[in-house]
Amino acid sequence: MEQKQKTILKILIRLAVTVAFIAVFSWICHHLWEVVNKNGMMTTIINDPHFEVYVFSIGGGLLGLFALALCLIWNARRDITLISLAAFILFILPLGWVKTKEWFTVGRFDTISMVEDLTLFRPFTGKNILVKLDKPLEKRMEGKQPRIDGVMNIFRFYASIVENVCRKEGWMAEAEAAGTALGRLFTDEADVVFCGLPSQSFSNKAASQGKELDTTLVVKDAFVFYVNADNPVDNLSLEQIKQIYGGKMTDWKDVGSKKKGAIEAFQRPKDSENQAFFQKITENCPLMEPPTMEKHVVGGVIHPPADYRNSGNAIGYSYRSQAADLLLKKKIKLLSIDGVAPTPENILNGTYPYVTEYYMVTIKDNRTEEVERNIRNLRDFIFSPQGKELAEKCGLIPMSNE
């Protein structure tokens, strides 16, 4: 009788442990799902070319782990336990192989990606990639704040201004085409727009409404070519760039480098502003097929140009501000073109030819005194030492208020 009671007690304990294990296991799975699904991360995973491998490996691996835990709880026979362990390992192996291969070919290199997800640039989210000042401002903007809009190319710059200068309440920072953003000035939907120099038609439109545009040059950017910081090549001619991207120069020794190696010439998507500017300066020279990556979309798989990977043989191009992070970390270097380096000095004095100017645009005397005062405060900040610090961290060249 005593032996029977012990057996029943043992079974009850094992059942309790099993129930507890299932509860904990379910809680962990639920928590992991919340983490994965947060901020649209699930969409990224589903769009990953290895999504099926993730489902197979993680799903099968969890089942194998679950079976293994139950075998240990119930003191199963050794061969059953070993089978469960083997199932867990076999399911996980494909994931390990994929991630190892991914790391070896892509993950071990720093990348420069043209970020499409604007949530990464939204102020005050706590999970953005905006620039922070070394020393925070002692006092943020008071009173009614100006509504800020501008073009995508420098969204990080003016969104960083908003996060460092403005209060969280009532802020606005958009990213639109220049025409749309400037149009918001006339419809009283924005007070300040950061963009290129407005065309004469916008000035005429303002004049026809009895208004006047106030434009202040605040920063400059440059279209640049870059390579890994350890690449011995410092200068290329525009003709050599055409030859490289046309597929006629395929090895670094072809451009005078002592280091041999196949050139990895990264391009930008065809409909991007970067690619349009590149084709403009290379006079629409015929281009070879670029390195690509897999991307899952509704209806199948596409192969857009791959993001720049900073391997020893890579070359890429973009606006200087888009390469700011790797440039500040000295992991890439900017190439001279026809002997002219894209240094801040050469960009400022116009020696380097591929320069873009960005202005702070408002309508004169069109707001309440409180907003006008804060627009002046905003302009003063941009030209202050901290404003210039912020611009430089964004990869832009700050101007002097002269």
For CA atoms 309, 312, 314, 318, the dihedral sign is positive
Read off the pLDDT band of 43 (50, 70, 90): low
Domain range 109-402, CATH architecture: 3-Layer(aba) Sandwich (3.40)
Q: Does 184 score more than 60 pLDDT? A: yes
CB atoms within 10 A of CB 132: 11
Read off the pLDDT band of 98 (50, 70, 90): confident
DSSP 120: G
pLDDT for 396 equals 96
Contact 227, 261 (CB under 8 A): no
- 110: Cβ contacts below 8 Å, ≥ 6 apart: 309, 310, 326, 331, 332
> Using CA atoms, how far apart are residues 99 and 346, in angstroms rounded to an integer?
43
Task: Give the residue carrying structure tokens 């639109």.
Answer: 176
Token output for 219: 């920063």
Mean pLDDT of all residues in 349-359: 95
Read off the pLDDT band of 337 (50, 70, 90): very high
Q: What is the pLDDT of residues 287-325, one digit of tens each?
A: 999 988 777 555 566 778 888 999 999 999 999 999 999
Token output for 44: 């990224």
Which carries the bigger pLDDT value, residue 278 or residue 47?
278
Chain mean pLDDT for the chain: 85
122: left (phi over 0), alpha (psi -120 to 50) or beta: beta
- 56: Cβ contacts below 8 Å, ≥ 6 apart: 91, 94
Domain boundaries along the sequence of the chain: 2-107, 109-402
Residue type, 132: K
Residue 47, classified by CB atoms within 10 Å of its CB into exposed (0-12), middle (13-18) or buried (19+), is middle
Which carries the bigger pLDDT value, residue 17 or residue 378?
378
Contact 240, 336 (CB under 8 A): no
C-alpha radius of gyration, the chain, whole number: 28
Mean pLDDT of all residues in 34-46: 59
Q: Does 39 score more than 70 pLDDT? A: no
Token output for 269: 């998507």
% of the chain beyond a pLDDT of 90: 43
pLDDT for 297 equals 59
